[in-house]
Amino acid sequence: MKKIIVPVDFSDYSEYALKAAAKLAKTYNAELLVLHMLEMSDIMLTASEGLQSQKALYFFKLAEQKFEDFINKDYLKGVTVTPIVKHFKVFSEVNDVAQKHHADIIVMGSHGASGVKEFFVGSNTERVVRHSEIPVLVVKKDLLEINFEVVVYACNFQEESIASYIKATKLFEKMKSKMYLVHVNLPNDRFKSSIEIERNVTNFLNKADGNLDRLDSVFYVSDYTVEDGILNFSNKVGADLIAMPTHGKKGIAHFFEGSISEDVANHATLPVITFKI
């Protein structure tokens, strides 16, 4: 882990993310790329003279000073910090910045959401999760420790998830984390017998790892929703982190089908990390 991106909006939640990222940076001797996206109109940005130009310059300077003050923290001492300012709030740009700088992970704060509002309004963090090609770590509170000793990785053990699973296992091996693999069985048309699940798991591990060494770390739980199963199992084993693959659905497909990863990231009190399928 060499480069960590932290999008900030000067809120308490983005400071939680910045603190968590600083701890990761110190642990792995990584560089922090602290990203702020200004919300400025085309007119302001292209203004060349007169009052509009003066307003644009004023807001640039104001944002620059606020950004400078925000990253002037004692907990960032000893960390290499590179500030980056973008002029639009286009959340796909976070992934563009990550690709350009060859970043390893994005760390974001989120207050979460519940009910109908999250479908219609969503959150900045959800938008980044949908677009990101690299892992996104979502934190909800000030984390005293960043040692993710116990990780729950939720998986349906389908072949499409193999690539994201491999990314996750490599990361958690570096972190020396104990990883539980959990499959949630539902009482509906997606219900599977124990034999069917075991067959899927065996096929998955053989293709992903080339062996069945992780078989003892696989658990099957039954619940009414995948989200509830993941959260309940995480509480049971005392997890420090929940990890999930995500399709990164966008637009209408996201609205109708939803995203389990985003639901869990919204509602879990634990930090959640997503890996793009």
- Residue with the larger pLDDT of the pair 153 and 119: 153
Look over the chain and give the mean of its residue pLDDT values, rounded to a whole number: 83
Residues 150-169: tens digit of each pLDDT: 999 999 899 989 999 999 99
CATH class belonging to 147-277: alpha beta
- Distances 246 to 45, 120, 122, 249 between C-alpha atoms, Å: 35, 20, 16, 8
Residues 217-262: tens digit of each pLDDT: 999 999 998 889 999 999 999 999 999 888 766 544 443 344 676 6
User: Which long-range contacts does 209-218 make (Cβ < 8 Å, 24+ apart)?
Assistant: 209/169, 214/179, 214/181, 217/178, 217/179, 217/180, 217/181, 218/181, 218/182, 218/183
Spatial neighbors of 5 by CB under 8 A, at least 6 apart, are: 33, 35, 94, 97, 98, 101, 103, 105, 106, 107
CATH class belonging to 1-145: alpha beta
| pLDDT tops 50 at residue 119 | no
pLDDT number for residue 190: 77
Residues 256-267: tens digit of each pLDDT: 344 676 677 777
The domain limits of the chain are 1-145, 147-277
| 1-145 and 147-277: identical CATH topology | yes
pTM of the model as a whole:
0.84
